Amino acid sequence: MTELIDFISKNLQLIYILILAIFIGVEVIKNIPAVLHTPLMSGANALSGVVIVGAILVLLHADPNNIVALILGSLAIILGIINVVGGFAVTNRMLQMFKKKRK
């Protein structure tokens, strides 16, 4: 538990930036027209892929005794994979709408 408190106290400014980025992201996404959500999700797949690669690199260089880094890295990989798979599923469904139906 002291590791977590120590981690938070050392990275308090980064945590503030993360919280601010979450609020800004929510506001930006709320104001995007519904027509643009699916194309933007396709672009988000590439960003999630970068997050996955970055999380893997962080885990490779993390100290095995640093539980916080291991948990956050693993969580980033899991959430990134879920986002990529969901994004591809939605993009595939959108592309199916534009295919001509066989008679």
Q: Which has more pLDDT, 89 or 45?
A: 89
User: What is the overall mean pLDDT for the chain?
Assistant: 83
Distance CA(96)–CA(93), nearest Å, equals 5
According to the model, what pLDDT value does residue 20 have?
94
User: DSSP label at 63?
Assistant: -
pLDDT confidence tier of residue 16, bands split at 50, 70 and 90: very high
Average pLDDT over residues 44-65: 85
CB count within 10 Å of CB 65 equals: 8
pLDDT confidence tier of residue 98, bands split at 50, 70 and 90: confident
CA atoms within 13 A on the CB side of 100: 2
Average pLDDT over residues 54-76: 89
What pTM does this model have? 0.58
Structure token digits, residue 6: 């120590």
